[in-house]
Amino acid sequence: NAGVMQNPRHLVRRRGQEARLRCSPMKGHSHVYWYRQLPEEGLKFMVYLQKENIIDESGMPKERFSAEFPKEGPSILRIQQVVRGDSAAYFCASSPRAGADEDTQYFGPGTRLTVL
Amino acid sequence: AQSVTQPDIHITVSEGASLELRCNYSYGATPYLFWYVQSPGQGLQLLLKYFSGDTLVQGIKGFEAEFKRSQSSFNLRKPSVHWSDAAEYFCAYTSGSARQLTFGSGTQLTVLP
């Protein structure tokens, strides 16, 4: 059973460009979460999605950031007009919809975004 | 505000020694508690979790943690540390209904030969 997959693992962008981060949840998982790990700030929740629905985006910056989890395909975290402060590790996690494990999140390897 | 505190930023132990990493939470009801480990440049691996029931939980890699409601603590322990345990350890909680994980600031573990 493959784990959570994220790509790319490393992404370099220049200021003003767009960054697209992809996350494929574990097989059988229908809930996806995005977290950001900034130096000196730790791991912070960004957004929680189910298929075609944003459930909780209370941790998302108000501008330039968006997320989706379409019916088919991976979840996408999109950052428009990146700035240097967006440089961080972005982690995706997934959990099943129901069952004994529904409150347990399994993490992917992360995408390290560097903004030049 | 609800929070998780890991009071030790960095801990150094010798290989073969015992280990205890501290975690305190601030939450009205009983939270769901987790310990994750992160090796450099890697993602987070779940070590163990506590939802309810037996307050001593066993995890992978020989780790265990004990939930103590009276102390609002969920400390991680290992009787004998291996060099491969060197990593950063995160305590986290969720209220269940809220789903999002709130993480502590992490404890960096160094293991001396």
Q: 3-state SS string over A62-110?
A: CCCEEEECCCCCCEEEEECCCCHHHCEEEEEEEEECCCCCCCCCEECCC
Residues of chain A above pLDDT 90, percent: 84
Can you tell me the mean pLDDT for B78-83?
Answer: 97
For residue range A91-107, list pLDDT tens digits in order: 999 998 777 677 899 99
Q: Quote the minimal CA–CA distance from A101 to chain B in Å.
A: 10
Mean pLDDT of chain A: 93
Q: Which of B33, B44, B51, B95 to mutate to test the interface with A (most CBs of A within 10 A)?
A: B44
For residue range B48-58, list pLDDT tens digits in order: 999 888 889 99
Picking from B93, B89, B54, the residue whose alpha carbon sits closest to that of residue B73 is B93
For residue range B60-72, list pLDDT tens digits in order: 999 999 999 889 9
Return the SS3 of B92: strand
Q: Which of B48, B94, B101 to mutate to test the interface with A (most CBs of A within 10 A)?
A: B101
Residues of B with CB under 8 A from a CB of A: 32, 34, 36, 41-46, 49, 51, 90, 92, 94, 96, 98-106
Do the Cβ atoms of A110 and B43 come within 8 Å? yes
Q: Quote the minimal CA–CA distance from A42 to chain B in Å.
A: 6
Do the Cβ atoms of B34 and A104 come within 8 Å? yes
Chain B residue numbers touching A104 (CB-CB < 8 A): 34, 46, 49
Do the Cβ atoms of A42 and B45 come within 8 Å? no
Q: Cα dist. A99→A1, A29, A52, A103, A104 in Å?
A: 17, 11, 21, 9, 10
For residue range A36-69, list pLDDT tens digits in order: 999 888 899 999 999 999 999 999 999 999 999 9
pLDDT at residue B97 greater than cutoff 70: no
* Contact residues for B63 (Cβ-Cβ < 8 A; gap 6+): B35, B47, B48, B76, B77, B78
pLDDT at residue B81 greater than cutoff 60: yes
Residues of A with CB under 8 A from a CB of B: 4, 6, 31, 33, 35, 42-45, 48, 55-56, 58-59, 91, 93, 95, 103-110, 112
pLDDT at residue B16 greater than cutoff 80: yes
